[in-house]
Amino acid sequence: MEPFSAVEVIRAKRDGLRLTDAQVDWVVDAYTRGVVAEEQMSALAMAVYLNGMDTDETARWTAAMVDSGEVLDLRTDRPTVDKHSTGGVGDKITLPLAPLVAACGAAVPQLSGRGLGHTGGTLDKLEAVPGWRARLSTDEIVAQLADVGAVVCAATEGLAPADRKLYALRDVTGTVESIPLIASSIMSKKIAEGADALVLDVKFGSGAFMKTVDDARALARALVGIGVSRGLRISALLTDMSVPLGRAVGNAVEVAESVEVLRGGGPEDVVELTVALAREMLALAGLPEVDPARVLASGRAYEVWARMIRAQGGDPDAPLPAPGHVHVVPAPATGVLTGLDAYAVGVAAWRLGAGRARKEDPVQAAAGILCLAKPGDPVVAGEPLLELHTDTPEAVPAALAALEGAVSVADSAPTRGPLVLEVVRG
């Protein structure tokens, strides 16, 4: 006989009570086993959304989700450090960051996901590389970490199954935007990966999940608090996502831009954020004396990238997929570009085929957008401003509709805040 009923747990949270450790452990386990029905967990998720969970309650919920599956042991003779981003537009940072930190002496097990809606997925981007495969066994992950120092792949099936099930439910019940549930979802997977340290990139702005700095800060503090409760070395950077990162948004186009960065070039904002995250990761890994900017400029990070791609069946020298159709969007006026809304660009790229509306939808490797100018750049009316890449030309009108009102031009350059606003440390 079950020690609790789902209804009593739902009522407790509905009435604003703190769930006991025993209630949390039971309801997460029972939901994973199918004892708690989907409609009951929907009601509980809504009660959590409306009434929240305190720090200890959230930490216990996270631990219960970790305990629903396996915990990996990815230790090598190097210190292990991971990174997680809350998602954005043009956020290809994992691609140059993982090989860079590995080239600096740490091991980086980056278990990543796929895109949904206007935010891109790391695995979708890397699958634009001919032959590259996302699914690895635990033994393959450990062997690649020991040999190459970096692996970017899909999470194993046994990792936090309670979170995988609950995440899908939250997505269709209007309960995604709950900070305790977001924090426990992110941290349960990261804790189950078994890394020694974790750096979080918590984004704010139109293209981010958290639109305001205050909400992003609250999420960062919740994430760091969970990590500290588990003895994890952890910190979080609050970063601006009001305009796309870099100039490429999509799949193959973001891989190409990442390779530019690894070869010592690339857009300044991508390089800045890559190096900032690398510095924080190396500090937590016990390697603060290594200068990632110097390592990036030396080309050693690109060598690790090529080895990482080859280790997963890919060809780093193969041409990336090219789009069947390119549509050029001209600048609407002459002056200085003052606005390029990240959310609008992300939705447009999604409609071109770079993203998906449902998890089972396919994506186009060549789909995406190239931003030929960024805020602060001069533009001339009628000259190319954006390139829309797609294999389905019939998708262009919907992408153009998403971009309506996304671009603004003025006589003078805008004043922009810092890319990295602050760091929250454990």
Q: Is the pTM of this model over 0.75?
A: yes
The answer, yes or no, to whether residue 377 has pLDDT greater than 80, is: yes
pLDDT per residue over 232-279, tens digit each? 999 999 999 999 999 999 999 999 999 999 999 999 999 999 999 999
Amino acid at 108: V
The answer, yes or no, to whether residue 119 has pLDDT greater than 90, is: no
Least confident of 116-125, 376-385, 401-410: 116-125
In 3D, which of 69, 83, 197, 72 has the Cα closest to residue 137?
72
Q: Give the pLDDT mean for 379-408.
A: 97
Burial class (CB in 10 A: 0-12, 13-18, 19+), 322: exposed
Strands 368-371 and 420-425: unpaired
CA distance 323 to 148: 32
Tokens 């829309």 map to which residue?
388
**Quick check: is 33 catalytic?**
no
Cα–Cα–Cα angle for 296, 76, 316, rounded to 5 degrees:
40
Tell me what pLDDT residue 73 has: 87
Q: Are 378 and 336 in contact (CB under 8 A)?
A: yes
pLDDT per residue over 190-248, tens digit each? 999 888 899 999 999 999 989 999 999 999 999 999 999 999 999 999 999 999 999 99
pLDDT band at 302 (very low <50, low <70, confident <90, very high): very high
Burial class (CB in 10 A: 0-12, 13-18, 19+), 39: exposed
The answer, yes or no, to whether residue 8 has pLDDT greater than 80, is: yes
Positive or negative, the CA dihedral 44, 46, 51, 56 is positive
Residues in the chain: 426
pLDDT band at 142 (very low <50, low <70, confident <90, very high): very high
pLDDT band at 38 (very low <50, low <70, confident <90, very high): very high
Q: Give the pLDDT mean for 412-419.
A: 86
Q: Which residues contact 140 (CB under 8 A, 6 or more apart)?
A: none
Q: What is the mean pLDDT of the chain?
A: 94
**Quick check: is 263 catalytic?**
no
Tokens 């789902």 map to which residue?
6
Tell me what pLDDT residue 359 has: 67
Q: Count the Cβ atoms, other than its own, within 10 Å of residue 253.
A: 29
3-class SS at 425? Answer: strand
Strands 335-340 and 407-410: antiparallel
Q: Which residues contact 144 (CB under 8 A, 6 or more apart)?
A: 136, 150, 151, 308, 311, 312
pLDDT band at 365 (very low <50, low <70, confident <90, very high): very high
Tell me what pLDDT residue 76 has: 87
Taking CA atoms, 177 is separated from 45, 51, 211, 397, in Å, by: 11, 13, 11, 30
How far, rounded to the nearest angstrom, does the alpha carbon of residue 404 sit from its chain's CA centroid?
26
User: 399 — alpha (psi -120 to 50), left (phi > 0) or beta?
Assistant: alpha
For the chain, give the percent of residues with pLDDT over 90. 86
Q: Give the pLDDT mean for 90-117.
A: 92
Q: Count the Cβ atoms, other than its own, within 10 Å of residue 271.
A: 19
pLDDT band at 116 (very low <50, low <70, confident <90, very high): low
CA distance 267 to 257: 8
Tell me what pLDDT residue 118 has: 75
Tell me what pLDDT residue 75 has: 82
Residue in 82, 124, 163, 201 annotated catalytic = 163
CA distance 53 to 122: 30
**Quick check: is 84 catalytic?**
yes
CA distance 423 to 416: 18
Tell me what pLDDT residue 261 has: 98
pLDDT band at 74 (very low <50, low <70, confident <90, very high): confident
CA distance 8 to 348: 45
Residue in 114, 118, 189, 327 annotated catalytic = 189
Tell me what pLDDT residue 69 has: 93
Tokens 């110097």 map to which residue?
294
pLDDT per residue over 174-186, tens digit each? 898 899 999 999 9
CA distance 271 to 260: 10
pLDDT band at 117 (very low <50, low <70, confident <90, very high): low
In 3D, which of 110, 111, 113, 112 has the Cα closest to residue 99?
110
Cα–Cα–Cα angle for 314, 97, 93, rounded to 5 degrees:
90
In 3D, which of 364, 362, 351, 357 has the Cα closest to residue 394?
351
Residue in 83, 84, 92, 165 annotated catalytic = 84
Residue in 13, 60, 164, 170 annotated catalytic = 170
Residue in 68, 85, 185, 188 annotated catalytic = 185
Tokens 């960062």 map to which residue?
220
**Quick check: is 163 catalytic?**
yes
Three-state secondary structure string covering 287-313: CCCCCHHHHHHHCHHHHHHHHHHHHCC
- How many CA atoms does the CB half-sphere of 70 hold within 13 Å? 9
The answer, yes or no, to whether residue 15 has pLDDT greater than 90, is: yes
Q: Which two tokens stand for residue 408?
A: 């603004």
**E strands, 216-312, in order:** 233-240, 248-250
The answer, yes or no, to whether residue 115 has pLDDT greater than 90, is: no
For the chain, give the percent of residues with pLDDT over 70. 99
User: 260 — alpha (psi -120 to 50), left (phi > 0) or beta?
Assistant: alpha
The answer, yes or no, to whether residue 419 has pLDDT greater than 70, is: yes
Kind and range of the H or E run holding 422: strand 420-425
